[in-house]
Amino acid sequence: MRLISTFILLFLIQNLTAQIDNRVFVAGEVIVPLDGEASQIEIINQNSKQGTVTNEYGQFGIPVREGDRLRFESIQYQNFIVIIDENIINNRKFTVKINDEINTLDEVIVRPYDLEGNIEVDARKVKTNFYAAPEAETVINEYEGDQPYIRSQTLTENYTTEQRFIKDGLNIANIFRAILSSKEVAEDHRLPKNVDVMVRKMYKDSFFKENLDIDEDRINEFIFFVEDQGLTKNMLQKGNELDLIGFLVEKSKEFKAKD
C-alpha cells in the first residue's frame, strides 16, 4: 500500500511539473516602419523571466505558453506587451508590426487579432540622442553576421538546438542560398560534390555541429538528404527564413534518427 501511494505521489509531482512549464518554442518577427531599426529589440517573457533580442531582420525565438505576457522594449519605440493566445501556440510563430503613430499611453497591451498570429501595434516613436561609442575589439567571421547581444545578465539564454538555430537561422539560410544559387548548381541542376568545402569557406567547421548537431564529415550527406526530402527554391527566398529554419530543424532530427 505504501509503495502504491509512493507511485501515485511521484505521478502527481511529475504531472504538476509538466503543467508548470509546458512552454513551446515559437519563432517571431518584428516589422518596423521604413526608417525604424529592427535589431536589438528586447523581448522578455514576464511569466517565465526568459528573454531574447531580435536580429538585424527583426527575427527572434522564445519559449511561451498561452497567457504569457511578452514585453517588447526598444530605444526607438515605447514599450508594449503582447499576450500569447492559442493561435500563436498552434502556429509556433507570430508577427508583430509596429505602426509609427501618436500615442499618449504609457504602455500598450495588445492581443493577436487573427488566426495567423499577426499583431499590429500603434507605438509612439521615442526621440533619442545618439553618441559615437568607442570601437570595441570584435572577432567576426568573414561571412558571419553580428550575433544578437543580450544586455541583461538576468535574461535566460539556455538555448536548445532549435533555439540556437532560430538565433542563427538567417546565416544558415544564406549558406543554402549561396550553395544552391552557385553557377555550378544553376548549370547542372545538382549540388556540387565539394559542397562541404563551400560551406567551410563561409563558416567555421563547428557551425553545423553547434546548430544542428551534424558532424563535420556528414555535412555533405545532410545537404543532399534535405534536398531529397523536399527542400525547395521557394524556401530560399528572402522572407521565408522561418519556414526554412523549421524545415531544416525537422530534417536534422530525421537525418540523425535514420542512423
What's the topology of domain 23-126?
Answer: Immunoglobulin-like (2.60.40)
pLDDT of residue 219: 77
Supply 111's cell numbers.
492581443
pLDDT of residue 152: 34
Strand partners, 99: 122
- Helix pair angle (195-202, 219-228), 10° resolution: 110
Question: Which of these, 172, 75, 173, 87, lies nearest to 126 by C-alpha position?
Answer: 75
Cell 537525418 found at: 255
pLDDT of residue 238: 64
Q: Cα dihedral angle (102, 51, 119, 93), rounded to 10 degrees?
A: 160
Report field, pTM of the whole predicted structure over 0.85? no
The residues near 234 (Cβ < 8 Å, ≥ 6 apart) are 240
pLDDT of residue 64: 92
CB 192 within 8 A of CB 220: no
pLDDT of residue 85: 85
Give the mean pLDDT per block of 10 residues along the chain (259 residues): 44 43 85 82 89 88 90 81 86 82 47 54 44 32 34 38 48 61 51 56 62 78 80 68 75 85
CB 58 within 8 A of CB 38: yes
pLDDT of residue 119: 62
- For CA atoms 111, 114, 117, 119, give the dihedral sign: negative
Question: Which of these, 110, 95, 178, lies nearest to 144 by C-alpha position?
Answer: 178
| Domain locations in the chain as residue ranges | 23-126, 163-257
